[in-house]
Structure 1
Amino acid sequence: MNHAAPSAPPAPPARIWLCADDYGISPGVNRAIRDLIERGRLNATSVMVVGPAIGRDEAAALLASSAKSPRCAIGLHATLTAPFQPLTMHFRPLAGGMFPPFPKLLRAGQLHRLDPEIIAAEIARQIAAFRDLFGRAPDFVDGHQHAQLYPQVRDGFLMAVKEKAPQAWVRQARRNQPLGKRLTSPKALFLDYLSTQFRRRAARAGVACNPAFAGAYDYSRKVDYGALMRSFLDGLPERGVVMCHPGFVDDILVSLDPLTSVREVEHAYLASDDFARLLAANNVTLA
């Protein structure tokens, strides 16, 4: 009698990080992020301690929401670009008392006109502010507008994390996709390039990185966010990071950031049944 071979057990789902950036930039963004955490649709968020919507109450609200999730990481969204102000007195360069716009910071780093020690001092102060708000070090540290990847900035960034939050992992932005797919997005290709050096320096410093990254796209164009999310999850390995920016638009957000209505599109999709089905279809979990 022929006996059918036993079928292999299904592969366990890959656990990834779905991280909402910019907690602290505005009350509407904060509410949207907490809503998704409580629904189990996010398992990480990074906090802007220099934002106008962060303080004891907003930190406590985030901790309460994350307590309802099986495991939600809370990290520091290190911020070094306008229109935000540094926490240290001697930060340079400044633009009208604020951090410089990101093109200026990037260019200064490429021309070796930054002082990594000054960068490290500011990041260390932001880590201290996070500790003061949350009672502990951040689980991870990433960067607003990917500033942690910029030349010279990355040296000061890694120096501060290694000293002040040595158990935290840091976010790099290299994708886990074939070259042909990577070539379709100039922005993502540039992040790949910056991340190559960042990863090497992090490894030398003994600071852990995420193995892969997804989530970057052209925010100026109308897109099918569900289709984008499918592409983000394609081939993403265990512990890979997908960056997102959900939020509800309010006046404070409009005054600070050009990324507005797309945040509501992202929130609506991440809260939807379609997103839950997509996770299941890709054998991916946030739990």
Structure 2
Amino acid sequence: MNGAAPPRRIWLCADDYGLSDGVNRAILALIERGRLNATSVMLVTPAIGRDAAAALQAAAGKSPRCAIGLHVTLTAPFRPLTLHFRPLDGDMFLPFPKLLRRGLLRRLDAELVHAEVLAQVDAFKDLFGRAPDFVDGHQHVQLFPQVRDGFLRAVKERAADAWVRQGGGNLKLAERLAAPKALVLDTLSAQFRSKAARLGLRFNPAFAGAYDFTRAADFGALMRQFLDGLPEDGLVMCHPGFVDETLKSLDPLTTQRETEYGYLASEDFAGLLALNNVTLA
């Protein structure tokens, strides 16, 4: 008689470590409880430094499978590490709709993107003493036309053993029609996967976690949807955090972060993982 099927191992990745102290505290608490097994770190934000990096390494060190990645940031209200990055809005990166538009119109310089991503990888190495386990992008910038060219070359040169995050999933027709954001990510990811494969870079086999942050959402219901059909090593993106003044000044996604944190910390979430035969360990 066959035994029970082994659990599916997935990645549950909290984005934006380093954005604010409140975001950092929430992510650290969830890692320590075994409710996350990956987080991606921003290097151009106010709440990252030696102490924050050490706290993250200490928390991840207690988890059997917690990856620490780089969250490449190329959009406002943040500023580049490199001196000659263009285009800018004042001294800041462009807002992401303008950056995406420039990429679609082929009006970006992939070499400048390449130099900035190299600088952010090097900053990660300086703080953590090693290359990132994976590399992704804030607001999915790594998928944008032209941006992806400079991004992937930089990862290949500085962190060739890291995997990169693509945003394509196993979307059913109804999901494609109901979730335009997920459909856009799925479309942009096709070229990203092709270019990554040609460079010999690994990437996650499937992605989930995109939803409309501008409206209050039942995160438990969304998580059930995200896990449905997600394959082994598929990735779910999340954004837990506690709201503080720094977060409110930098990012429109605020109270929904606390909703996500509350659900991920709950026994309901632990039960959902067990019900779906999913593990983070």
After TM superposition, the structure 1 = structure 2 runs for residues 118-137 of structure 1, keeping only pairs within 5 Å, are 118-137=112-131
Q: Secondary structure at the match of 1:141?
A: strand
Task: Note if 1:200 corresponds to 2:160.
Answer: no
2:12 & 2:176 partners in 1: Cα distance? 20
Bigger mean CA offset, 200-209 vs 210-219: 200-209
Bigger mean CA offset, 171-180 vs 189-198: 171-180
Partner of 1:49: 43
Letter in 2 for 1:210: N
2:59 & 2:176 partners in 1: Cα distance? 36
After TM superposition, the structure 1 = structure 2 runs for residues 125-274 of structure 1, keeping only pairs within 5 Å, are 125-274=119-268
Partner of 1:29: 23
Gaps of 5+ in 1: 1-5
Q: Which has the larger radius of gyration?
A: 1
Bigger mean CA offset, 172-181 vs 70-79: 172-181
Letter in 1 for 2:133: D
Letter in 2 for 1:286: L
Identity of aligned residues (%): 72
| 1:232 Cα deviation from its structure 2 partner | 0.2
2:172 & 2:5 partners in 1: Cα distance? 23
Of 272, 279, 286, which residue of structure 1 is paired with 2:273? 279
2:186 & 2:81 partners in 1: Cα distance? 30
Q: Secondary structure at the match of 2:202?
A: coil
Q: Secondary structure at the match of 1:242?
A: strand
Letter in 1 for 2:48: I
Letter in 2 for 1:269: Y
Q: Secondary structure at the match of 2:93?
A: coil
| 1:181 Cα deviation from its structure 2 partner | 2.2
| 1:180 Cα deviation from its structure 2 partner | 2.8
2:138 & 2:171 partners in 1: Cα distance? 23
CA RMSD for the aligned pairs?
0.6
Letter in 2 for 1:19: C
Give the conservation status (yes or no) of the 8 Å contact 1:177–1:235.
Answer: no
Per-residue deviation, residues 250-274 of structure 1 (Å, max 9, x unmatched): 0000000000000000000000000
Per-residue deviation, residues 67-120 of structure 1 (Å, max 9, x unmatched): 121121000000000000000001000111011000111011111111111101
Q: Secondary structure at the match of 1:121?
A: helix
1:246 & 1:263 partners in 2: Cα distance? 4
Between Structure 1 and Structure 2, how many residues are aligned? 281
Letter in 2 for 1:134: F
Q: Secondary structure at the match of 2:204?
A: coil
Of 102, 113, 117, which residue of structure 1 is paired with 2:107? 113
Gaps of 5+ in 2: none
2:219 & 2:73 partners in 1: Cα distance? 26
Letter in 1 for 2:154: A
| 1:282 Cα deviation from its structure 2 partner | 0.4
2:205 & 2:41 partners in 1: Cα distance? 22
> Which stretches of structure 1, 4 residues or longer, exceed 3 Å deviation after superposition?
none
Partner of 1:3: none
Q: Secondary structure at the match of 1:183?
A: helix
TM (normalized to structure 2)?
A: 0.99
